[in-house]
Each structure stands twice: as C-alpha cells, then as structure tokens.
Structure 1
Amino acid sequence: MEKLEVLPLSYRNAQTAVPPLSAWAGGLFTSFLRQAEKEADCRVAILLCTYHGQHYLAEQLESFAAQSHTNWEVWASDDGSEDDTHSILEAYISKWGSGRLSMHFGPAEGFAANFLSLTCNASINADFYAYSDQDDVWEADKLARAVQWLQSVPAEVPALYCSRTQLVDADNNEIGVSPLFTKAPSFANALMQNIGGGNTMVFNNAARELLREAGENKSVITHDWWAYMVVTGCGGRVFYDSKPTLRYRQHGGNLVGTNADWTARFNRIRMLFQGRFKLWNDSNISALLTLQHRLTPENREILQCFAKARGMRLIPRLIHLKRSGIYRQTLLGNIGLVAAAILGKI
C-alpha cells in the first residue's frame, strides 16, 4: 500500500491560502462598517404636510428625533392652519435649529396638492424623500429600514419603499395592523389600488424626477397612489415591507383612514355603485397619459388595453380587462373588481 505523505499544518495552510478566522471576521466587520457609514451619509428629506394638526404634531416630530437614522431634515408645508400648528412648528425650529426644520405655506388645495407641491419643490435636495402625515408616530427604525433597501437599488432606477402600519387609536393604543399584501407590486396592480400608505413611503431621486416631470398640478386622487402608479409604470422598483414601520393613528380628524375594517369595505361597495371608482379611474388614466412616453412598452400596452376596455360592451369589456392583467391584492378585492367590470363601474 502506498504511504500517504502528511504535510505540516503550516505548509497546508500556505498552499491552500485559507485566511485565518480572525482575518475573515475582521474583513466582514470592515465591510459592515462601510455599509453602515454609506447609509448614514444618506440625507433624507421628510416631506411633512400639516393642517390643524395641533393635537398630535409634537408627538410625530418627537418620533423623527428618535430615528436611528439621524441624517434627516423636515420640510413642513402648512395648508392654512388656524390652530396652534404654526406655533408648534416654530417651537421645534427653535429647539432643533433651522437646519433641521423649515416651515412653508401650501397651496391650500387639499392634502394631495400639498404633498405634490413639496415633491416638486426645487429647493429641496436630498438622497431620499419620505412622506409624512402630521398625526402618526414613526417607529425608531423606519428611516433606517427604508434607506437600507433604497441603497440596494441603482441610483438611476426609480425606487419606492412602503410598508404595513400598526393601527392605533387616538391615544396611541394598539388596535390592529393594516392588511398584509402578498402579491407582487406592479403597474397592473397600481391601476386598481394603492398598497402603501403615503405615510410609509420613502423614494429616491430617480422616482422624484418622474414625479417632478409630471408636475405638481396633477388632478390625482391621492399623492401616494399616484407615486405607486408612476414608479411601477415607468419601470421602477417598489418594495412592500411586511414589518409595520409606524403607528397609524385612527381618529375622527383623519382625512384618509385605514381600509381594513368592514365599515371601510361597505363604504367602498357604496362608492362603487355610486360610480366613484369609475371617476377615480378617469382621473388616473388622464394623468398617466401625460407620462405615457415614460411608461415601459409593456405598461403602456396595459394602460391602453385597460382604457379601451372601459368603453366596450360587456363581453368584449371583460375579455380586454382580463387581457390587461389588472388585479387587486385580495380575493374579495378581485371579486369586487369583477362586479365593477360587469356593472360598467370601472
């Protein structure tokens, strides 16, 4: 039997060039530090819209201060408040300094127009942009989670982060969570619904440039639904985080609340029969047509197929809507979609 030669350990290590465990761990730690530093360098502009927000505004501002990602600045646009909103903002300007918070005057044309005015404001420059309502409470890692994902997307690709929310009552007591959507974000879905509340959205400069190109004078239903349609339609990426990143306060003064309970579902059915959904689609299609040169060829075809189907008779309408690929995130939602198509309310 041939005798095997046993090489000294040091010789074997030299031949195979296996780095010591300490060197491997050190390299990993260095890589982690570089990534952390890269994320920390990212400037986030928080686009905060206010209107008679005196009851909860301070708590929202304090949740900004508690963020683990500390490189942020707040651009607050007030839409004509006559309560103590201005004095609260001015107090935080004094507390934080003008480099942290600045106050501006909105167009006084509703919350969607106010958010779009901030989105298109050429004075605001950052790496990422976060929409914020006046009455929520952000979890401490909200911005950090968004920045981490956005950093993974090439800068030239439009990217939008959004998440679930923890539902709370007026006193910040937990009452549930927003629905968990499991189907992939897409333009075909965006035509039918918005999966991410604006209060959770953070987006990059490539996405913002698309929204700025579309302009602030768009007659859209909501700014967040519009952002979801634009980013997906123009070939961007959307990440829906299943982990809630903020406490979404439900109270009598909500301009827009959660759609999770049965009252909201009943209201959606009522609005469907009243033709509200059809009017929303009229507005969305009209707005999207001004950006159709930016849509991907596939998404342009989806939009054209959907728009054409709406004016057809029943059977051709159903065939073309099916061909367009539009869908909602839940079974009940898709049943409602079919009903709307049959009734000509789409």
Structure 2
Amino acid sequence: MDQPNPTVSIVLATLNGAPFLKEQLASILEQDHTAWDVILSDDGSHDATLQIAKSMLDQTRLKILEGPKRGLAQNFWNGLKHEPREQFAAFFDQDDVWHSDKLARAVSHLSDIKGPALYTAGRIVAHCDKRPQYVQTRRSVSAFSSLLFRNPVAGNTCVLNPDAVKILQRFAPPPDVPFHDWWAALFLKGVGAEFIHDSTPTLRYRQHANNVIGARNGHLHRVLNGTYFCWIQSNIDGLSHIQDQLTPSARRVLRVCLPSRAGLRLGQRQKTDGTC
C-alpha cells in the first residue's frame, strides 16, 4: 500500500469483558501507529463493558455494534463485515494487552504486499495477574493441508491487509464454525494469500479461567471427547460449499478430505449430546 499512515480498524468482540477491558483499551491508546479506529461487537454484556469503552475511547473512533449472540466466530465476523473499504483490520481479544509497536510492526510488514495478506506475530503468555509464563512464537503456515487439522495462527496477533479484508467479508464462516481466526487462515491460505509471521512478541495474552481456548490447556481433553474432530469437520464442511473460490491445489487437498470427513467420527468418543 502506498498510504503513509494507513488506518487500521481494530475488531473487538466482547462479552462481559469489564475485568480486563481498561488495560486492554489503554494499550490501544498507547500505540505508536496512531491511525486506528475500533469496531466493537458486543454479544450482550451485562457488566460495564460498554460503559468502559465509551468512557475511554473518543466517540469518533468507536463504533459499537449489537452482536449476533451466536458464538465467538460470528461475533468477530459481525465486526469485520462493518470494516470500511481500503482499511487494514486487526483482531483484538477482550482480555489482551498490546505492546505499543503492535500495529506499527504489522503495517510495516504488510505495506508493500500486493494481493491479500495476513500478518501474525509472537505473543507473551501471562497469568491473569500479568506475570509472564513463556513466549509463544508459534509457526508460520506453510501448507493448506496442515492448516485443515491444526491452527497455528493466533487470532489475537492477526492483522489483515485491505485485500484480505475485502475477500473475507464476502465469505463469512458458517454458523457451526467455531473460530474466526482458524476460518480466516484456512480461507486466505486456500485462495493463495500471502502469510507473514513475525516471531517478535507484540502482545501479552492473559490466561484466566474464562479464556475460550487457552494457550495450552484443554487440547487433550477436547481430542478425547470428540470436540476437536467436530471443529475440523465443521471447517471442512464449510469450505466444501465455497471450494470453487480456492486455488486448484487447495481444492485437490479438500477433495481428498471430503470423502473421509465422516470418518472423523469413527475413532472419537461421542459428545454428551451425541452430535457435532
């Protein structure tokens, strides 16, 4: 992009985020990259979430939307679909704290890329009291096939260039797809977007009892009870309906997976409701 100081729309999905929101929003106000606005999609908070946002952010830089109340992915997408044309977008979880160079680093990495691109970075995983636990750099995404079965993209580090935003706005995740970042990564990789991974940590990710996923906890449990396989199946099923948008190589990979997707259930333990 040839804009000297492009605007980044920060897409914030909230639900009762008051305990962490003040410090989170303060980290937006301290960004070195000052051209930003916030699109806040709230899924029915009954605490002080909206009051805090209105008190801390200038109303000219804040758009508040009523969330769809259909889960995390749909709440984030509700914000993303209101993203203005020709702006970058950054996903922001309601309990994280950004480093001051977060947006500046992302825009710098994305500024000269033509076509859709997704930026990710490292992060510091911390206790809810802000004590660091460890640095998580993740891995860059090299293949569409590996992304179908594991998501190494940390959504709270993601920044999208305008071309990536435009294409994602056209293809929202189906209602049963659980995670906005996994769907965004899958679809963008499937259409041949460029992925940029910056191993430098750009935020502090706070671990607490209410994290939807958590950095390490619960993965084995979700594999054993079948939840993880249902997530994979939901992503594959969703992509199958828009496979004509994918590159030929991604379509070939998806077609291999489609006949066997029902087999994902065979080795799993049935969930308590007996369905995916």
Same fold flag (TM > 0.5) = yes
CA RMSD of aligned residues (A): 2.2
Q: 2:247 aligns with which of 284, 296, 317?
A: 296
Q: 1:101 aligns with which of 62, 66, 80?
A: 62
Q: 2:107 aligns with which of 127, 134, 147?
A: 147
Higher relative contact order (CA 8 A, sep 6+): 2
Q: Aligned partner of 1:258: which letter? A: A
TM-superposition CA deviations, 1:241-286 (whole Å, max 9, x none): 1111100011122122112xxxx3xx32332232223212221111
Q: 1:274 aligns with which of 225, 228, 250?
A: 225
TM-superposition CA deviations, 1:291-344 (whole Å, max 9, x none): 2111100110011112234457xxxxxxxxxxxxxxxxxxxxxxxxxxx89x74
In structure 2, what is the equivalent of residue 28 of structure 1? none
Q: Which has the higher helix share?
A: 1
Tell me the CA shift for residue 56 of structure 1: 1.1
In structure 1, what is the equivalent of residue 166 of structure 2? 209
Q: Which has the higher strand share?
A: 2
DSSP 3-state at the match of 2:200? coil
Q: 1:116 aligns with which of 50, 69, 77?
A: 77
Q: Which structure: larger Rg?
A: 1
1:175 aligns with 2:133: yes
Give 1:55-204 correspondences, 5 Å limit: 55-93=19-57, 96=58, 98-121=59-82, 124-154=84-114, 157-181=115-139, 184-204=141-161
Asked if the contact 1:46–1:73 (Cα under 8 Å) also holds between the matched residues in 2, the reply is: yes
Asked if the contact 1:158–1:204 (Cα under 8 Å) also holds between the matched residues in 2, the reply is: yes
TM-superposition CA deviations, 1:159-186 (whole Å, max 9, x none): 11111210111121211122542x6432
Distance 1:53 1:40 in 2: 34
Q: Aligned partner of 1:271: which letter? A: R
Asked if the contact 1:63–1:140 (Cα under 8 Å) also holds between the matched residues in 2, the reply is: yes
In structure 1, what is the equivalent of residue 7 of structure 2? 43
User: Identity across aligned pairs (percent)?
Assistant: 37
In structure 1, what is the equivalent of residue 234 of structure 2? 283
Q: Is there any run of 5+ residues in structure 1 with no aligned partner, and where? A: 1-34, 313-339
DSSP 3-state at the match of 1:278? helix
TM normalised by structure 2 equals 0.90
Distance 1:311 1:218 in 2: 19
TM normalised by structure 1 equals 0.72
Distance 2:241 2:161 in 1: 21
